[in-house]
């Protein structure tokens, strides 16, 4: 036991149980509580337009945690996470509009639908590795988009609008929509994050990492790599389904464009920029990508007003993919461990301050 439970000056762990604790020190617990407290106050100071972006970041963070489970922790490349989100969103929309279920039942149904479809799509991972699996998930993404576009029940990809929700007597209206949803999304995100931290401590969570690092060695240790891979897809797409359900309510409607291939790529980019296989990275990645998009968006509005581009060129449509692509490429070339590594380094710096090492 360290002398103080607030600071950790070294590794005093003598039992596996201690090694498995979520929080090493009280300080970590305390900082999480303070962080959540600050986040609870955030909507009171943020302007309304930014609150909308923060909500989007949090929803994407849920999906990116899921993607990190399949791609980051288990090493199965998934170019169809947005399609799993879409499955969840459409399941939620159907549950809410056809079965008239309240949102706190409809969103978990979305998650379960995502998990179900994810398990099915994950089946080829028993036979396929790496590139081939990536191509298979890409095909699923395209088949999903086409399938929705041809199903009358799903409005053929058009908008299915969802009812406004009522929580604790507060009815979400046009004016406080983002505000209400902020307080609904935040707990979900926190729970999903803690849930993943918890799963990671169990043998199931660690078996995923073992399969990623060397599936033959994992098999030799008594892990069934096939089961582990299917489980990774199931958990990952459950997260995506929950994110999709939240997104459906948050956007007040389900449209196929919100779950297209470009969103899948965006989610992958978020996971990579944040740092593959890292929980803080799953929050930092979406934050970075959405912030970049907004900054470039307003920057190109300004550039557009300068009239330096030839006629017929919209600065925003050009600079958005340009900056997005550059961000991915530069991160991969110069900081493959992503923003999570910066986060880790800066934490270390402050922990050890004023000593350098």
Partner 1 sequence: MDLLPQLLIAGVVIGSVYALAALGFVLIYKSSRVINFAHGQIIATGAFIAFALTQKGVNFWLAGLIAMLATFLLGMLIERVFLRRMVGEPIIAVIMVTIGLSSVIDGLIHLTPYGAGTFGFERPALLTGQGIELFGLPLSKTQIAGVLMALGLLGGFTYFFNKSTLGITMRAVADDQMAAMSVGTSVERVFALAWAAAGLTAAAAGVILGLMSGLTLGGLAGIGLKVFPVVILGGLDSVVGAIVGGMLIGILENLSAGYLDGIVPGGGTREVFPFIILIIVLLIRPYGLFGTKEIERV
**Residues that bind partner 1 in the complex, under the rule CB under 8 A:** 71, 75, 77, 124, 126-132, 134-136, 138-140, 142-143, 146-147, 149-150, 152, 156, 215-216, 219, 225-226, 229, 265, 268-269, 272, 276, 309-314, 317-329, 332-333, 336
Q: How far is the CB of 354 from partner 1 (least distance, A)?
A: 36
* DSSP for residue 211: H
The pair of structure tokens assigned to 240 is 């995506």
Q: How far is the CB of 346 from partner 1 (least distance, A)?
A: 24
Cβ proximity to partner 1, 55 vs 71, nearer residue: 71
Spatial separation of the C-alpha atoms in residues 239 and 61, rounded to whole Å: 10
Q: What is the DSSP string of 6-62?
A: S---S----SHHHHT-S-SSHHHHHHHHHHHHHHHHHHHHS-HHHHHHHHHHHHHHH
Q: Which residues contact 25 (CB under 8 A, 6 or more apart)?
A: 2, 5, 6, 7, 8
Q: How far is the CB of 173 from partner 1 (least distance, A)?
A: 36
Cβ proximity to partner 1, 154 vs 188, nearer residue: 154
Q: How far is the CB of 230 from partner 1 (least distance, A)?
A: 12
Q: How far is the CB of 59 from partner 1 (least distance, A)?
A: 22
Cβ proximity to partner 1, 142 vs 195, nearer residue: 142
Cβ proximity to partner 1, 78 vs 178, nearer residue: 78
Cβ proximity to partner 1, 170 vs 221, nearer residue: 221
Q: How far is the CB of 217 from partner 1 (least distance, A)?
A: 12
CB atoms within 10 A of CB 10: 6
The pair of structure tokens assigned to 351 is 């922990």
Q: How far is the CB of 205 from partner 1 (least distance, A)?
A: 19
Cβ proximity to partner 1, 216 vs 356, nearer residue: 216
Q: How far is the CB of 330 from partner 1 (least distance, A)?
A: 8
CB-hemisphere CA count at 13 Å for 251? Answer: 22
CB-hemisphere CA count at 13 Å for 260? Answer: 7
Q: Which of 64, 97, 9 is nearest to 286 (CA)?
A: 64
Which residues share a beta bridge with 301? Answer: none
Region of 129 on the Ramachandran plot (φ > 0 left; ψ -120 to 50 alpha; else beta)? beta
Q: How far is the CB of 308 from partner 1 (least distance, A)?
A: 11
Cβ proximity to partner 1, 242 vs 276, nearer residue: 276
* DSSP for residue 202: S
Helices (H), the chain: 16-19, 26-45, 48-67, 81-97, 103-122, 130-149, 177-201, 203-213, 215-220, 225-251, 261-274, 279-305, 315-334, 338-352
Which residues share a beta bridge with 167? Answer: 170
Cβ proximity to partner 1, 211 vs 246, nearer residue: 211
Spatial separation of the C-alpha atoms in residues 134 and 137, rounded to whole Å: 5
Q: How far is the CB of 57 from partner 1 (least distance, A)?
A: 20
């Amino acid at each position: 036991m360290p002398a103080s439970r607030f600071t950790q000056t070294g590794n005093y762990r003598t039992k596996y149980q201690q090694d498995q604790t979520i929080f090493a020190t009280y300080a970590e617990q305390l900082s999480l509580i303070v962080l959540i407290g600050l986040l609870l106050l955030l909507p009171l100071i943020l302007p309304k337009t930014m609150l909308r972006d923060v909500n989007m970041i949090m929803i994407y963070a849920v999906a990116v945690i899921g993607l990190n489970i399949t791609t980051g922790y288990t090493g199965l490349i998934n170019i169809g996470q947005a399609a799993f989100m879409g499955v969840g969103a459409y399941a939620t929309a159907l549950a809410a509009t056809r079965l008239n279920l309240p949102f706190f039942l409809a969103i978990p149904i979305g998650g379960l639908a995502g998990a179900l479809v994810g398990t099915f799509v994950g089946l080829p991972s028993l036979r396929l590795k790496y590139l081939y699996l990536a191509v298979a998930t890409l095909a699923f993404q395209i088949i999903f988009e086409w399938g929705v576009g041809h199903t009358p029940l799903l409005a053929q990809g058009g908008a299915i609008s969802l009812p406004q929700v009522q929580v604790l007597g507060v009815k979400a209206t046009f004016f406080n929509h983002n505000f209400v949803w902020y307080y609904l999304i935040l707990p979900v995100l926190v729970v999903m994050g803690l849930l993943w931290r918890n799963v990671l401590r169990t043998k199931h969570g660690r078996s995923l990492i073992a399969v990623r690092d060397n599936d033959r060695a994992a098999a030799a240790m008594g892990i069934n790599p096939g089961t582990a891979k299917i489980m990774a897809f199931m958990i990952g797409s459950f997260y995506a389904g929950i994110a999709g359900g939240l997104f459906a309510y948050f956007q007040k409607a389900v449209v196929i464009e919100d779950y297209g291939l470009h969103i899948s790529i965006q989610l992958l980019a978020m996971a990579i920029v944040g740092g593959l296989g890292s929980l803080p990275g799953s929050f930092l990645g979406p934050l970075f990508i959405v912030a970049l998009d907004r900054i470039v968006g307003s920057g190109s509005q300004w550039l557009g007003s300068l009239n330096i581009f030839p006629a017929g060129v919209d600065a925003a449509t050009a600079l958005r993919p340009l900056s997005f692509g550059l961000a991915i490429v530069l991160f991969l070339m110069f900081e493959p461990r992503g923003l999570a590594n910066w986060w880790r380094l800066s934490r270390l710096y402050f922990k050890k301050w004023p000593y350098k090492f």
